[in-house]
Amino acid sequence: MLIDEPLLKLLKRCQILLDSAGETFWSHKLQSAQELLARNTAAGKREILQWYGGMGSFSDLTLSQLNGHKVAPEDEGARNGDLLTLRSAIYLAARSNTVTEQ
């Protein structure tokens, strides 16, 4: 079976970040994508790529107390910087054709 391990690791890291901020909607989507990727890499990547673009997309997510997240105002910049980095890496990994044999 072919699995995209780097993408799975990025999804897990992002899920941990979102869980720590109490962001359940996108955390669940990340978990579902990890499960789908483990079964069908191409379908998982298609699912992930659908999250980007349009109103209410993954790209629009901002971690903030104003949005009901568990993040201190002084930490919002760093947490959103981490989110931006992970979100971009996930997008690029989902677009790539890199997989490993399992």
The whole domain housing 31 covers: 2-101
pLDDT in tens, 41-85: 899 999 999 999 889 999 999 999 999 999 999 999 999 999 999
pTM across the whole model: 0.90
Task: Give the residue-averaged pLDDT of 24-48.
Answer: 94
Q: Is the pLDDT of residue 100 over 70?
A: no
Give rounded-to-5 percent helix, strand, coil for the chain: 70, 5, 25
The domain total for the chain is 1
pLDDT exceeds cutoff 50 at 101: no
Q: Could you tell me which of 6, 32, 4, 5 has the C-alpha nearest to residue 18?
A: 32
**Looking at residues 24-36, what average pLDDT do you find?**
97
